Every structure is written in C-alpha cells, then in structure tokens.
Amino acid sequence: MVHFKNCPDPSLNANSQSHPEFSSELEHIKARMQNFIKHSVTDQNIEVTDARVTAEGEITSLLKERLDKEYFKLLSKITREVNVEDFGAVPDGRDNTEAFRKAIGNGRVKVNVPAGEYLVQGIKLPSWTTIVGQGKGITVIKLHEDTPAHEWVITNDDYQNGNRNIFVQGMSLDWNPSRQCGVRNPGGQFSSCLTFAKVEYGWIKDVEAINAGLHGIDITSPTYDHLPDTDWTKDGSRYIWIDNCVTYGSGDDGITTHYSEYIFISNCHSGNPRGTEFVEGVSNSNGIEVDDGSRHVWLLNNFTSGNIRGVEVKAHELWPASQNVHIIGHVSYRDVRAFDLRHIGHHQITDPESTTAYDVTLIDCSAIEPVFNSLYDAVTPRALVISAYKNVNVSGFTAIGDPDYDYKGNPVVALQYRSQNITINGIKIRGFKKAGVDINLSGGSNKTDYIKISNFDIYKSAPKGISIGGGLYNVNILNGTMITDNGTVGIQSPNNQATILGVQSEGYSVAASIKGQTYQQIPINLKGGIQLATTSGFAVNQTSAVIAGTGDITARGERNAVISSSGGSSTEGSRALIASSNNAHIKGNHVSRTILSSENIILEEPYTVAGGHQSIKWLLDSVRGNGTFAGAISSSLGGYGEYFESSTGQLIHTGTIVTLRGEKIAPADAGDYMLGVISETSAFISGASSFVWQGRYLTNEFGGFIYEMVTDEESGELIRVPKQNPDYDTALEANYHSRAARDEWHVVGLVGKHYVRIDETVSQGNYLTAHNGIGTKAAEGSWKVMKITSAYTSEKGYGIALTVIK
C-alpha cells in the first residue's frame, strides 16, 4: 500500500482556502505526483534521490516535498507585497513596462496584477518573485505594439547565471502577433509567451498563453549541448510545475521542454496552433512537446486538440532524446498524431542507433478521432507512433476513431524504426473502419523488435487487426479479443515466430495468416523453452519443452521434448524426444532420437527410435531402414511373402498358384515348379520397395548395401549411410509408385498358411499340385490342405482352401 505524506501545496497561499474545489483537485494531483516519484521505475534512481536533497543538504522523502519546501522558502524570502497599479500600471492601452519593472524591482516580492489588459514590452522576473493576476481572461498581459519580434511576454531575467523560485499565476499572456502589421519569431529560442530558461523551482499556475510567436510555455536551457559529449541539463531548468494552464494559437508548440528535468505538467489544455514558425504546409506544431535533452518529466491529466501531434516525446538528430517521461491520463482529441515518440536522425538502419531514447510510459491515455490537418499535409493520422525509443510501457490506452472518416489505409498504432522493448497492455481500439490496420509492427531492416501486446480489445475497426512485418521474431500477443465487420485478416505474420496465446477473433475472413498458412481460428503459438503441467523440470533451450512430468526431467538441446515422463529423464543433442518413460536418457550431441515407453535405458545412436525396460529391447534405424527386436514379432495374419513381377505385366488373381518364368512369375501348370501363391494374408512381406526405386542405392555382388561416411548437415558428425546410385534421377521421385500400388507386382506367399484356389478334386487333408494356376489333388507334396473355406462351384470355376506351404 502507498502512503502519502501530508505535504503543503506550493501553488496556494492563504487565498486557496476560499476555493475548496480547486484545492481538492490539486491535492489529487499532488498525491499522484508523490506516487510517481516515490515508485519511479527509472534506472536513474541516484538522480531521483539527489532531486530530493535541498540546497541546504536536507533530504526530503519525496521530490514533491522538496518543491513544497522551496515554495515556503519563496514565501519567506518575499519582503514586499505590491500592486502593480501603485507603480503606474493602467490597463488603458498605454505601455506599462516601466511600471512592472519598478514593481518587481530586484525580486523578493509578490506582485499583484488586478483585472484588465496591460500592454508591456516584455517582463523579466528575477529570483524570489511571485506575480499573481486575478485569473485567466481577467488579468491579461499583452505585448505592446512597439515590442520587438524576439521578445517574450514573461521570462526570467538572468539566462547566464540562472534564477530560482519564481511563481506565475492567474493571468492570460498575449504575444500579440498582429502588432506592427504582423510579426513572427525571428528564429532561435525567442518569442514565446512564457519562458523559464535555467530556472530552478518554478511554478506556473492558471496561465493562458495566447498566439505565441514560438511556444506558449517553454521550459528550457539558454544553450543546447550536442551529442555525443553532452552534459544534458547543466544549464537547463529543473523542478518546474505547470498546472491548469491553457495555450492556443502558438507559432510552434503549446507547452514544451528542452534540456530540463523534473518537470510536472498537469491539468493543462493545449490546442489549435497557428503554425507560423514553419513553412506553410509543414508546420510541426504540437500540443505538448517534451523535446531535446529533457529528463524526468511527468504529464498528468492534460488535454490537447487540433495539433499536429498531441503529445510528442522526441529529439532532433544532434541532441539527446527526452528520457524517463511519464504521460498519465492524457486525452488527445482530433490531433493528427495523438502520441508520437521519436528520435529524428536515428530511425534508419544507416543512421547511428540512438543511445538516449529510453524509458517512456503512457498510462490511461486516450486518442480520440485523429484527423488530417493542413498545417502539415504529409503527416498521417495515427493514435500512437513509436520510433527509435526503447523501454516503452503503454498501459490502459484507448483509441477511438470516426467510422466514417477516411484514414486512407494508414495504421492506427505504428511501432517502427528500430524501436525496441515495448509493452502494450490493456489497449482498446474501435471505430477506425477506413484505416489499414489497427496495430502495425514494422519489419525489414528498420524493424521494431521485442514487442509485447496483452489484454487488448479491437472492436469494429480496421480490416486488419495486427500486422507483423518480415524479419520480426520477438513478438508476444496474449489475451485479446478482435471483433469487426467484413475484416480481412485478424493477425498476419510472414513467419511463425510470434508467441500467440488466448486471442479470439470474429468477423475476419481469415482469423490468422501465419507464414502463408491461413486459420479460421487464431492458433496458439508458443515460443521459447516451456515447462507445462510439470511439478519439476527444466526446459533449458528456447525450443525445448517438458510437459506433464515429475522428478526433474530435463530437455537440454534444440527441439527437445520430455513428455509424460519422470525419474530425471533427460535429452541432449538436437531433435530428441522422450515420452511415457522413467529414468530414460538420450545422450550425446547427435540428432533425431526418440525413446518411447521405457525404463532405465540410454540411447545415443542418431536417427533411431528405441524402447525397453532396464535395457534397449527394440530399435528402429532410420538411416538403414532396419528394425532390431529382442523378442517376438506377432501378427494375426499368417505366412511369409515376397514381391514378384508378372511376366505379362498384367494382374494375376489372388489364390493363383504361380511358377517362375525367368525372374518373373506366371500361373503354374502341371509339372511346373510351384513357387507360391498370390496372397493377401502374408504377415511378413519382403521386396516391397515401398519408398524409393529399388536401385537407388548401390549394392555389392551379394546384394548388400554399399555404405559411405557423410557429414550430418545439422550436427556436423559423421554418419554411415547407404551410397546413392549415380544413375538415380531425383526428378522422377515425385512420380514414383511403390510395388504395392502397381498391378504387375504381386505378393507371393512362399511359406506358411495361405489361401489357394482349388478344383473339385480337392478335399481336406489332400496334397496339392497345379493345373492352370489352380490347385488339384496330388498323391504327395509340400502343399497340404488344412480346410476347405469355400466349396468348389462350376459357376466360379474354383473353390478356396487354407493351405500350408513348406
């Protein structure tokens, strides 16, 4: 449980007690800020700790508490409280610059500004200064007609040495771009409504920034450091809180930070920029921009609308990217790109990889109806874009589109340009009917990588749900629902490397297309070593598995599995399987071995399947096609048979007695040698050539295989295999048919019990000889009738007898 210390609110003086509803809201924000600092997930904890140490060396429990102490220190330093009207300021159109200068003096003052519109040529605030108006739209400070274009409405007075403890509250600041028949920012860091440059401890509350030449509110450094040798924020501002402010009509960004740290922006609205800082049609004017070199920035409960980017966390090519930025409860409405994270100049594979774009969180944020904007024609609407950044956590994100709006086939969410290690949990997307895909994970040389998407809902949105690019192998998609109308593909991937689990879809013509295979339901696809339904065990390799086992079973090698086994059964090498066994082991760095239903055996030979109890009792050799058995082989059929080819190339009917005609067979006649009978009941059959042409492998003069040693493609070990015939044509393999499938080849029963066609002379117990392939009674011989199974009939021209051949 989180406990919050009861710290005073730095934004309030005694007057806050007269506004209980405002105080309550600030207390809520204060509590959230305390939580974020106290439980920061950044790896820069030393800096977070240092941020809580006051100038006097006192350690506060929270950064927020330090701000509170600095605020009360500000109050204690104030020796005067004045009204600017007492120094000649009059809201009647005159230039009041001198009146403000006199009222402010050298600081240590609280300046009250009554209602009205006061024209000035810029106000410079020294340290230990508070300037307070009567509220937004009530007290207005506006730049005078004669004000130079580079001037700010309000800024601090010492950019070289810096200032501290400045408070601005309760007023509108109007940069007045229509003065002198229209002015623009002349370039550089000038022309904002309110700028803090090299300020420590600043508070900006209830301020409205109108029509700035550059930015509405800019928290910045007087100078920027370039990569790679940079001391990020040595001249930046720090410990600044911007609350309940409004900006609109800015030439560039509404609220922005540069080279500053420990910045809090809460309850603000920024929208509808003019974009005059840029060439028409390419104006990158954003609502809130956390820009070059900023660190430790919190955005809480803000709202943006009508901008090119609602919130942009970024840097330009030569500057470090903003880092450790936390965006909570933000709503973007009709911004072109609601949330955009990028480090310009570090996106392409030919660019240097960003060394600073890290650590951004978005929590409970919403992107509502992103749209095109003529301020920047080339920027396409998207709810979330992440480029170049690593370690990004998105939680509770909502994207709501307009079903009738033409998004021109663009993605809703795009993870791209070498971004990595991104977690998206609890995202909900709906209404982007005319987008291309709801979540696009870019592949190729500039691919994103290490992506985790979980607990997501896509409802009646783009034709494609999730698209995974080529070369992208580290993606987890877990626990989601995808429902749409007339969708094309739910999940699409050119490979099968993504982990997919617990995802349901409806309304897509193809639920999933994975490596070219289509599915009507999204499949479960698990990657990485897995231990499933086992009380103890180890899946050591990322492609190994132990399932339903006990007793420290272990799968060590690639493509290894130990299933339904116990007693420490283990595998090594590649492509190894043990199933339903106890204390069974596959050892050595060999390939393709299997143990089934065994106890206490060890298997080492490659390309084998074995089983046994206490020792191997049977083994199948896949290289040679041999089977070895310690016990009997039994069959319900009887007799031994062998394949022979008919001399005519035609079918010979079952039960016909045959003789040899050279190497081939024909029906036997009187006086012929009786080779055997065409049989369908031979238990053991040889000469089948079931799988390949019988002459594929070379043989010696006695018909035995000639062997050679070859190197296994996977393991690299030498194995002994039959030597292939150089005359073998692999192109004919596809059209090869085994002898069993060809009419001219017949199984001839040679020994044992077989069914034989007989004539009317044969009775039980008779010996047989042959006549036109049919058995007839003989005085003696090696063929004896056991029983008549079908009596002779003249209609068939034969009967059938079960006969023993020896």
pLDDT at position 692, please? 75
Task: Tell whether 317 is covered by a domain.
Answer: no
Task: Tell whether 418 is covered by a domain.
Answer: no
Structure tokens at 595: 């143990």
* Confidence grade of residue 688 (pLDDT, cut at 50, 70, 90): confident
Which of 583, 535, 538, 540 has the alpha carbon at shortest distance from 559?
A: 540
Q: What is the pLDDT of residues 557-587, one digit of tens each?
A: 999 999 999 999 999 999 999 999 999 999 9
**Cβ contact 678:646 at 8 Å:** no
Task: Tell whether 380 is covered by a domain.
Answer: no
649 and 772 assigned to the same domain: yes
549 and 696 assigned to the same domain: no
Active site residue: 70, 261, 277, 642, which one? 642
Task: Name residue 404's amino acid.
Answer: D
Task: Tell whether 292 is covered by a domain.
Answer: no
The domain boundary, picked from 494, 527, 560, lies at: 527
461 and 589 assigned to the same domain: no
What is the C-alpha to C-alpha distance for residues 300 and 268, in angstroms, rounded to an integer? 8
649 and 761 assigned to the same domain: yes
pLDDT at position 14, please? 35
Average pLDDT over residues 541-559: 93
Task: Tell whether 319 is covered by a domain.
Answer: no
52 and 188 assigned to the same domain: no
747 and 647 assigned to the same domain: yes
* Confidence grade of residue 7 (pLDDT, cut at 50, 70, 90): very low
567 and 648 assigned to the same domain: no
Cα 596 versus chain centre, distance: 37
**Cβ contact 166:129 at 8 Å:** yes
What is the C-alpha to C-alpha distance for residues 552 and 109, in angstroms, rounded to an integer? 74
Average pLDDT over residues 242-255: 98
Structure tokens at 145: 């007609």
Choice among 170-179, 307-316, 364-373, 704-713 with the minimum mean pLDDT: 704-713
Choice among 519-533, 723-737, 757-771 with the minimum mean pLDDT: 723-737
Task: Tell whether 492 is covered by a domain.
Answer: yes
pLDDT at position 542, please? 84
Average pLDDT over residues 602-628: 93
Judged against a pLDDT cut of 70, whether residue 716 lies above it is answered with yes
Judged against a pLDDT cut of 70, whether residue 676 lies above it is answered with yes
Q: Is 642 annotated in the active site?
A: yes
Choice among 92-106, 272-286, 307-321, 729-743 with the minimum mean pLDDT: 729-743
Domain span at residue 706 reads: 692-737
Over its C-alpha atoms, the chain yields an Rg (Å, rounded) of 42
Judged against a pLDDT cut of 60, whether residue 21 lies above it is answered with no
What is the domain-level CATH number for residue 721?
Answer: 4.10.80
130, β-bridge pairs: 110, 167
714 and 669 assigned to the same domain: no
What is the domain-level CATH number for residue 657?
Answer: 2.40.300.10
pLDDT at position 57, please? 59
123 and 151 assigned to the same domain: yes
The domain boundary, picked from 509, 527, 545, lies at: 527
pLDDT at position 731, please? 77
**In this structure, what are the phi and psi dihedrals at residue 600, rounded to the nearest 5 degrees?**
55, 55
Q: What is the pLDDT of residues 151-168, one digit of tens each?
A: 999 999 999 999 999 999
The domain boundary, picked from 683, 712, 737, lies at: 737
190 and 209 assigned to the same domain: yes
**In this structure, what are the phi and psi dihedrals at residue 23, rounded to the nearest 5 degrees?**
-60, -40
What is the domain-level CATH number for residue 196?
Answer: 2.160.20.10
The alpha carbon torsion through 534, 540, 543, 544 (nearest 10 deg) reads: -40
Judged against a pLDDT cut of 70, whether residue 328 lies above it is answered with yes
Helix (H, G, I), strand (E, B) or coil at 287: strand
How many domains, the chain?
6
Mean pLDDT score across all residues of the chain: 90
Contacts within 8 Å (CB) and 24+ apart, 618-627? 622/592, 623/719, 623/720, 623/721, 623/722, 624/705, 624/721, 624/722
656 and 771 assigned to the same domain: yes
Task: Tell whether 205 is covered by a domain.
Answer: yes
41 and 111 assigned to the same domain: no
Task: Tell whether 369 is covered by a domain.
Answer: no
**Cβ contact 413:438 at 8 Å:** yes
